[in-house]
């Protein structure tokens, strides 16, 4: 069976809290579980940027050649 990814959105309620009300600050660590996918997409984007720069450079230095026709 093929595994399919679903985009699930969670609603988060953020309320303003006066720091004086908190006796101890909470330590929170976030761990990116799909970092390899982010790195892969970043590398693809960098490759595409390099290719586009090369294409733009060719366009910028393009020398048109015409021939005369009757």
Predicted confidence (pLDDT) per residue in 49-69, tens digit: 999 999 999 999 999 999 999
Instruction: Let me know: does 46 contact 38? Beta carbons within 8 Å.
Output: no
Instruction: Let me know: does 32 contact 38? Beta carbons within 8 Å.
Output: yes
φ/ψ of 40, rounded to 5, equals: -60, -45
DSSP letter (8 states) at residue 21: G
pTM of the entire predicted model? 0.50
H/E run at residue 36: helix 35-60
The angle formed by the CA atoms of residues 27, 30 and 35, to the nearest 5 degrees, is 160
Give the lowest-confidence range in 2-6, 36-40, 57-61.
2-6
Q: Which residue reads 């009757």 in tokens?
A: 70
């Amino acid at each position: 069976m093929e595994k399919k990814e679903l985009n699930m959105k969670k609603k988060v309620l953020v309320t303003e809290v006066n720091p004086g009300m908190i006796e101890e600050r909470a330590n929170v660590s976030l761990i990116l579980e799909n970092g390899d996918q982010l790195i892969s997409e970043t590398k693809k984007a960098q490759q595409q940027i390099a290719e586009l720069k090369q294409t733009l450079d060719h366009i910028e230095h393009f020398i048109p050649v015409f021939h005369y026709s009757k």
